[in-house]
Structure 1
Amino acid sequence: MSAEPYVPARARLPGLRKAVQSCAGCALHRDATQAVFGSGSESARLVLVGEQPGDQEDRKGQPFSGPAGGLLDRALERAGIDRDDAYVTNATKHFKFSRQRGKRRIHQKPNRSEVAACWPWLAAELRVVDPDLVVCLGATAAQTLLGTTFRLTRSRGRLVDLPESALAGHRHGPARALATIHPSAVLRADDSETELEGLVNDLRVAAEALAPTPG
């Protein structure tokens, strides 16, 4: 089970975005409305990686275009990051859900094999964009890029080296990564303002890392 046969070699973002709609590398494509590929410029220095598309993203075909995306926009603005300067994507490209209370679709976390199956798409995006910094939004994204032993509760908000295996072919030097909570966790929190401030503080670390060196 892998998306690798569906990923066109050496394709740029437009070719990848077209090809992903035909991906049947795991079972998630069967029930999803469409694949939701990343959004942003090939020249972005910052890549934001979430877990998977949500209900609204599945319908619209755009990552982080639902409530979590709105909160992410607020957090980025407060941290001094222009979302238009970032490339935004997810570890998996199809929405995984169960149906409860009639037609309502309830998010389900993708399992490890589904994330691994979808990895070739994320790897291709990172190859093309070649960022200086990757921000992992949530534990799924962090463990996808930084290894299954990575613990968000211990290491969030810290700059670490992105493993070479996660960014094969990086052209102009090593890239770094930073993990923080997913915006949806802020929406679910009892004290959402405190959680939002924590997310903003982590994103400020990312903003400082990308800032030009004085002199």
Structure 2
Amino acid sequence: MAKDGNTGAARFLPERRSLPELREAAAHCQGCDLYRNATQTVFGEGPTDARFMLVGEQPGDQEDHKGAPFVGPAGRVLDRALEEAGIAREEVYLTNAVKHFSFTLRGKRRIHQKPTVAEIEACRPWLSSELALVEPEMIVVLGATAARALLGADFRVSRQRGEVLELGEALAVATIHPSAVLRAPDREEAYKGLVSDLTLARRSCPCSS
């Protein structure tokens, strides 16, 4: 249950399900407390028939202001890594496990705060609906929060990244979140690992056979 006593996003889902209708409905979501301080809901973006779905943690500061996923520094890292891995951006649907920016204030700066388990669970109906509509062939799980949402509490990206897994009707590969590249002591090595995992996802996708 969300920490404010709400029952999560399920009651905000529209009766008719399409990505535009979900995006419009999600704009009014109050399934957990995060909506109170975030600028807006940041819903997923990409083609309905995307072969790849990339799932991150949550919007960052720039995403919260612009209303689009992966448009900040981590998004630029991801765009470059996708290109190097040979994954066309137009084949990708990008989204996050949590649709509102979770942060704490430090002076005037908004500092990223990891979503709670309750917030991840509250937001799950949106992610589940996106998966059901897009029906990707390959899901790339970016970081621990997305792994928690999609692969369960026992999954550890540090141990199991780069494995090809079955996830419903799709395959999945877990890797680090691109923001981890920016925080890494050796950015070049971290970036190479991200590209390697994305390349594995491309090669393992049924669409590549």
What TM bracket, shorter-length normalisation? over 0.9
3-state SS of the aligned residue for 2:153?
coil
Q: Which residue of 2 aligns with 1:204?
A: 199
3-state SS of the aligned residue for 1:22?
coil
2 CA distance for matches of 1:194 and 1:28? 34
Q: Which residue of 2 aligns with 1:168?
A: none
1 CA distance for matches of 2:166 and 2:152? 12
Equivalent position amino acid for 2:126 in 1: W
Equivalent position amino acid for 2:64 in 1: D
Equivalent position amino acid for 1:108 in 2: Q
1:42-94 deviation digits (Å, cap 9, x = unpaired): 00011000000000000000000000000000110110011221000000000
2 CA distance for matches of 1:153 and 1:114? 23
Check if 1:145 corresponds to 2:140.
no
Check if 1:179 corresponds to 2:157.
no
Note the residue ranges of structure 2 that are not aligned, 5 or more in a row: 1-6
2 CA distance for matches of 1:3 and 1:190? 38
1:144-190 deviation digits (Å, cap 9, x = unpaired): 1011111111110110010x4xxxxxxxxx21111000000000011
1:117-159 deviation digits (Å, cap 9, x = unpaired): 0000000000100111110000110121011111111110110
Does the Cα contact within 8 Å between 2:103 and 2:111 map onto a contact in 1? yes
3-state SS of the aligned residue for 2:27?
helix
Equivalent position amino acid for 2:135 in 1: D
Trace 1:63-212 onto structure 2 (pairs within 5 A): 63-100=69-106, 102-162=107-167, 164=168, 174-210=169-205, 211-212=207-208
TM-score, length basis structure 2: 0.95
Give aligned-pair identity as a percent.
57
Change in CA separation of 1:185 and 1:126 when aligned onto 2, cut-off 3 Å = same
Does the Cα contact within 8 Å between 2:202 and 2:208 map onto a contact in 1? no
3-state SS of the aligned residue for 2:139?
strand
The CA RMSD over aligned residues, in Å, is 0.9
Q: How many residues align?
A: 202
Check if 1:50 corresponds to 2:56.
yes
Equivalent position amino acid for 1:119 in 2: R
Note the residue ranges of structure 1 that are not aligned, 5 or more in a row: 165-173
Q: Which residue of 1 aligns with 2:14?
A: 8
TM-score, length basis structure 1: 0.92
